[in-house]
Amino acid sequence: MIRYALKCDKGHDFDSWFASAEACDSLMASGRLACMHCGSAKVTKSLMAPSVSHGKGDPDPATPPRPLSAPQSPMELALARLRKEIEEKSEYVGMRFASEARAMHEGDAPERPIFGEAKLDEAKALIEDGIPVAPLPFLPPRKTN
C-alpha cells in the first residue's frame, strides 16, 4: 500500500491510499480518481515527504494517529458534521432521487427526508415543477474514493 498527497484542478488538497503506484496512475489516467471535496477528476500527485521509520520504536501513544479521512479545516469539520446529520436523519435513495421526490410531492409516497442523485435534466425538471430540492456540498456515498 502507498499513500499519495493529491490535488485537484480547483486547488483542493487531499490524500488517499492505493495498492501500488501503478494503481494510482491507472486511476488518474482513466479519470476514475475524483477530488473528495468537489468531485473533479482532474487530479495530480502533490509533493510529500516520505514516511520513513527511524527505528526508535513505536510512536508516542499519547498522540493517536489521525485517520487519513479525518477533517482538517473548520470547513471540512462543518461539512463532515452536516454529512453525518443528513445520513443519520434521511434515507439515501440513490439514482431514484428524482422519482422519489416527485412521488412524495404528488402524494404517491409518504413524505420523509431523502437524499440521492439526479441527472441535471431531472433536477431542472423537479425545480421547474415546483418540487423543492437542493444540491448537497459533498459527493454521494458511492462516489467517494
Query: DSSP secondary-structure letter at 10?
Result: T
**Please, which residues bridge with residue 43 across strands?**
8
Average pLDDT over residues 85-107: 95
Read off the pLDDT band of 36 (50, 70, 90).
Answer: confident
Q: What is the pLDDT of residue 52?
A: 60
**Please, which residues bridge with residue 4 across strands?**
16
Read off the pLDDT band of 145 (50, 70, 90).
Answer: low
142 or 76, greater pLDDT: 76
Q: What is the pLDDT of residue 75?
A: 82
**Please, which residues bridge with residue 13 across strands?**
7
**How many Å apart are CA 67 and CA 98, to the nearest integer?**
35
**Secondary element (H or E) of residue 7:** strand 2-8
What mean pLDDT, rounded, does the chain reach?
84
Query: pLDDT by residue (tens digit) across 110-144?
Result: 999 999 999 999 999 999 999 999 998 887 766 55
Average pLDDT over residues 84-101: 94
| CA contacts within 13 A on the Cβ side of 22 | 0
- The residues near 141 (Cβ < 8 Å, ≥ 6 apart) are 87, 92
Strand blocks (E) in 27-100:
43-45, 91-94
Q: What is the pLDDT of residue 13?
A: 86
- What is the strand order of the sheet 13-18 is part of? 13-18, 2-8, 43-45
**How many Å apart are CA 24 and CA 1, to the nearest integer?**
10
Query: pLDDT by residue (tens digit) across 46-66?
Result: 766 666 655 555 555 555 665
